[in-house]
Amino acid sequence: SSFAAAVWLNDDIALEEYSSERKGKHGRKYSGRCDLYFKTGKHNFNCEAKKITCGIGGKSNPSKTISLVKRELEKAYNDAKKIPEDDEYEGRRLGMCFVVPRLPKAEIKNKDNHIIDFQENIKNNKEKI
């Protein structure tokens, strides 16, 4: 919803959770649901999105976080491949993964440092994702 709102605030178009045709095994089509459609400028996107929450700070494990992001992004990618490419207005297929960091209350005072470390960990491991 926050992503859709950002698209709207940019005076573009976003539609969440709508019915769409899907592509199953052997190219058979069936009725399904798409997480997000958005248009920005001349570009249209049909998106399958996943959301994960992961711990930062404390006893969190950065390599576990990277594995979790990779797994959920692969799921989104595979779901996006089920969206047929037939319709020129449907746009490109896109798999997205929204990562929500969670920090223990005892570490709120240092939240900026933990968030920066978390972002750096994601950036430094993007080739693994």
Residue 62: per-residue pLDDT: 82
3-state DSSP assignment of residue 28: coil
Residue with the bigger pLDDT between 89 and 2: it is 2
- Distance (Å, rounded) from C-alpha 77 to C-alpha 83? 10
Average pLDDT over residues 63-68: 88
Average pLDDT over residues 69-76: 94
Residue 128: per-residue pLDDT: 73
Query: Using 50, 70 and 90 to split pLDDT, how confident is the model at 78?
Result: very high
- Distance (Å, rounded) from C-alpha 108 to C-alpha 10? 32
Long-range contacts formed by 69-76: CB under 8 A, 24+ apart: 69/97, 69/99, 69/122, 69/129, 70/128, 70/129, 72/97, 73/97, 73/129, 75/50, 76/47, 76/48, 76/49, 76/50
The secondary structure element, H or E, covering residue 118 is: helix 111-124
Residue 42 has what DSSP assignment? T
- Which residues, in sequence order, are bridge partners of residue 102? 55
Residue 118: per-residue pLDDT: 87
Q: In Å, what is the CA distance from 113 to each residue of 44, 56, 90, 120?
A: 36, 10, 41, 11
Is pTM beyond 0.85? Reply is no
Radius of gyration, CA atoms only, the chain: 17
pLDDT digits (tens, 9 = 90+) for 18-31: 887 777 777 777 77
Residue 71: per-residue pLDDT: 94
Mean pLDDT (the chain) is 86
Query: Using 50, 70 and 90 to split pLDDT, how confident is the model at 97?
Result: very high
